[in-house]
A and B are shown apart, each in its own frame.
Chain A
């Protein structure tokens, strides 16, 4: 046993097994939670036994010391058997009425159980357990570990990621399902059997959607234009000029971003009410353009910083005025950045809910968010129409977001990390 290769070597199978069991343990906790919700205490105890067996499997598989390998291997095999058994019994208990979640819970136990039985009884593991492994074999094994381990780790990673993807996608798939199912059934289920376009024709054929969409478009475009008119000069000044009060002003813009909206909401409402701006587009435009202003100023300042100063100096030497430099040189060069900032304030206005809910209370002045929410009330919910409309509203926004995600996230995170 003096050979280093033999001392260092531990079969890949054990690593795979411990990783797999660990993942199964995590998933099994969720299964146990579901059992508890269902009040299904038989399944819960079976799954509890499975969880214990998996823990034993992990404990036996992560210990590579030479003493007691045989005992640990045997315990591991036994635990695999118990896990497998729990999986089978768990499935049998549910009887004939399987739900998707039952099959999933079964797989969570069956896969590590079967893999444990197979992996722990491979010839290589057996020889390693019996300490009869050859030096050459151990060296090969180390190479094999190095080559294959990352692949197995990646595979486990994919399993985890796929679970997260499932949790993310379930609501999305469900809303598509409800939108194309007839009636207001909350279970949907007609995605493949009898899809219908009735909800879409309800929405597109009715007046509400177009009125609210028009309000939203007016408010969002107004916000974008006003916001840019305010933010571009300020961003430019902060980027290019050094003047008294610059630091203080920039800090003010950061500070405002930290203000919680609620402290402004009530007084905002009272001011808007006094000025007669409730139930108008102008009230919302004013409010939104200021909400997005600080972040826009910071985003634009960052972009202007990347435009080389030499260009301006050359233009100034050639007799261009200060304003001319800004208007003819800087603005055209940073047009993409301005567009992204504009898109950002557009999205802020398009998605805002609280102020729109508070300011515009008559239903011909609703914006899309408030209008959409009005489809769902405590007593009477038109889920089918709601689903169709939310798809119509969300799809363009999501596409815009995904196409421009790099710029939006850069700008947002830059703004947020700095402030």
Chain B
């Protein structure tokens, strides 16, 4: 009896559960791909939906270089989500590496929206989507298909697999006019020869004249390959030179500088660069000093220690940086040794800490060796006198060693500052400025120099990059001058 009541009570619930519509991924009705009409290394892909897309639906674009029948043999090229697009930006054509457009019927194509983390989003009700996919091999057929999924990330049925061949060939721009460069080089060389000739002619002794001859080649190389490019760079920073219009740049006044100082990432990159530099230089000098002191005097195994501690300097830095990148991978040694599961290079703060740790590791031997060289020149009798007077080791270090080391440390620290400020390899090879690396903006671990590299060689904006370079140079110049004045290092340097 009681069981019957229970069944009656539960029955509507079961019926309701059974009657509830199962959420299903929107099916794809038609897929078309074409490589003929698109641009270099691009393939166009258009797909239509069996029913208008609902909130939460998504589409993976699967891609492979050979035909495939299930998703395991293909990789995801891009993903498009369906969601409410309120408050999202709608970038123009060409701002993103994969341009997509969506249509809600009647061929009214509109650009997709981009969420904060850069995902492509189309509004609900979309019936067709077309994408311009980059990075395809030229002249070889690639295979594409759409894998729809629903709001629970459950995949629907893989669409028909279509093939396309990208045929567009990149047209090289006509080679730029090289005459101005040759003209500049020639005139610089000529004026240097004239200058040296005048100096040599004014020189009375034969010695002086031959000295001019000896110095001339080095000076010439320096003028042509250092000063000329620097001057050219400064000129470039006032022009709109870019990748597609090389040699046809025109002056645009201070536009580049205005863009540098008003760009969204300027303060953030500058801030991280300063943090990066200051932490590194302090750690280098501190660790170097501590190790130099520890290896001072008679220590068992000194040669072995010194040789091992030199390794970070001796091994080429691009190799060690890549090794560290391997150690900090998700399945790498760091997580293995600690038994943790941290995606170090994928999170902003851990990534920043990791690049700083690696650079500290790389840089301390240089400081150790220079400081240890300077320690050997300190007079020993002062310490004997201090010992007799009962000065404690800590006071000896503070009041004798540090002041006497200062003339050696001050210029080396400045050099370390400039080197660290411009340390390209570590950031570029470890994180490439990422994570959070969106087009046109600095990533979480970008420092000024890696960002300039991006501006120049990823975005191809040479004029803007030159302006950034000049700003960096001025910052360094200002810092060096202030530092020298504050520490009175000028006598030590010159």
Contact = CB atoms under 8 A, between A and B. Distances in A.
B170 to A, nearest CB: 14
A413 B377 CA distance: 14
B339 A99 contact: yes
A262 B337 contact: no
Interface stretch (B36-44, B124-132, B278-286, B328-336): B328-336
Contact of B342 (A37, A171, A271): A37
B26 to A, nearest CB: 29
Contacts of B373: 409-410, 413
B473 A260 contact: yes
B315 interface: yes
A99 B457 contact: no
Interface stretch (A48-56, A80-88, A112-120, A349-357): A349-357
Interface stretch (B66-74, B214-222, B258-266): B214-222
A234 B218 contact: yes
Given A266-B233, A322-B206, A417-B370, A259 B462 contact: no
Interface in A361-401: 369, 372-373, 376, 378, 381, 383, 386-387, 390, 393-394, 397-398, 401
Interface in B147-165: none
B229 A267 contact: yes
Interface stretch (A128-136, A191-199, A204-212, A245-253): A245-253
Interface stretch (B17-25, B84-92, B417-425): B417-425
Interface in A138-187: 154, 157-158, 160-161, 164-165, 167-172, 174-175, 178, 186-187
B333 A174 contact: yes
B418 A413 contact: no
Contact of A243 (B207, B315, B453, B469): B207
A286 B217 CA distance: 13
A418 B411 CA distance: 8
Contacts of A233: 213-215, 217-218
A356 to B, nearest CB: 10
A262 B447 CA distance: 12
Contacts of B411: 416-417, 419
A381 B320 CA distance: 16
Given A244-B203, A289-B221, A416-B412, A267 B425 contact: no
Max chain A CB contacts within 10 Å: which of B178, B218, B432, B480? B218
A241 B230 contact: no
Interface stretch (B99-107, B136-144, B305-313): B305-313
Nearest to A386: B322
Nearest to A397: B316
Q: What interface size band does chain A fall in?
A: 35 or more
Given A230-B218, A259-B230, A99 B308 contact: no
B141 to A, nearest CB: 21
Interface in B208-234: 208, 210-215, 217-219, 221-222, 225-226, 228-230, 232-233
Please classify the interface of chain B as helix (H, G, I), strand (E, B), loop, or mixed, using the class held by over half of its residues: helix
A271 B232 contact: yes
B189 interface: no
Given A256-B226, A262-B449, A266-B469, A274 B181 contact: yes
B77 to A, nearest CB: 12
Given A171-B327, A372-B318, A266 B202 contact: no
B186 interface: no
B215 A249 contact: yes
B236 A401 contact: no
B13 interface: no
10 contacts: A158-B300, A164-B309, A187-B333, A258-B415, A262-B473, A270-B246, A271-B232, A290-B222, A373-B322, A409-B369
Interface of B: 175-176, 178, 181-182, 199, 202-203, 206-208, 210-215, 217-219, 221-222, 225-226, 228-230, 232-233, 236, 241, 246-247, 291, 294-295, 299-301, 305, 307-320, 322-327, 329, 331-333, 336-340, 342, 361, 369-370, 373, 408, 411-412, 415, 418, 421-422, 424-425, 428-429, 432, 448-449, 452-453, 456-457, 462, 465-466, 469-470, 472-473, 476, 480, 492-494
Given A267-B466, A409-B373, 15 more contacts: A39-B340, A165-B308, A233-B213, A234-B219, A236-B214, A237-B215, A241-B207, A241-B211, A261-B422, A268-B229, A274-B181, A290-B226, A351-B316, A354-B453, A369-B316
